[in-house]
Amino acid sequence: EAQVTQNPRYLITVTGKKLTVTCSQNMNHEYMSWYRQDPGLGLRQIYYSMNVEVTDKGDVPEGYKVSRKEKRNFPLILESPSPNQTSLYFCASSSGTSGYNEQFFGPGTRLTVL
Amino acid sequence: QKEVEQDPGPLSVPEGAIVSLNCTYSNSAFQYFMWYRQYSRKGPELLMYTYSSGNKEDGRFTAQVDKSSKYISLFIRDSQPSDSATYLCAMSARGSTLGRLYFGRGTQLTVWP
């Protein structure tokens, strides 16, 4: 089944404790992206990657890191999480070949930083 | 000014009603217009897309684009409780950064029996 998977689905952590949220897709997509979703603010792009070893900042990159060492994986790293990073996070992928750039989203990771 | 504006609602309608959801945008380079549907505790999924101006119909759903007014709409006929979800408009420009989509904030819709 074609899908984007994320782990963990739920995470409660404390300020300053480094964490990684994994994302994997099995559709051989070139493009991958991370979003955060907050009430009243909608989906905001954090980072995106157009291919292996190619990443770039989205609209809200501060406090986050990413890497793309393999085509299928795109982990999101929070080196020193803070309470304002409490949010719902989505990973998405796209083939990038269709003009409308349909993105396939993972199920989401709900992060709480205390 | 955000590139894509969408009234977040919430919107609550009885079963069978016609629902109208709307977005406005400022970037005239946008050529592809999409509607994503997001059920509670799920990721968004593509519902419909339209290229440039015009209408597109898929069952009970109709997407309209008016590029002259920079305004897009999604109509849901004979709405059902299963349509209760958040609807997000999204747009992209032809030849834009590979895969880049611009989302509205989403409109939360509840259809009650």
pLDDT in tens, B32-58: 899 999 999 899 999 998 888 889 999
Strands, sheet with A65-66, edge to edge from the N-terminal-most edge strand? A4-7, A19-25, A76-78, A65-66
The answer to whether A108 contacts B43, with C-beta atoms less than 8 Å apart, is yes
The residues that bridge with A33 in the sheet, in sequence order, are A48, A92
Picking from B7, B100, B108 by the largest number of A CB atoms within 10 A of its own CB, the best residue to mutate is B100
Residue A23 touches partner B, C-beta closer than 8 Å: no
Distance of alpha carbon B26 from its chain centroid, rounded?
A: 16
d(CA A106, CA A98): 19
A60-94 per-position pLDDT tens digit: 999 999 999 999 999 999 999 999 999 999 999 98
B11-40 per-position pLDDT tens digit: 999 999 999 999 999 999 888 899 999 999
The answer to whether A43 contacts B103, with C-beta atoms less than 8 Å apart, is yes
Structural tokens at position A12: 């409660």
Contacts of A105 in chain B (CB under 8 A): 43-45
- Beta strands B61-66; A31-38: pairing state: unpaired
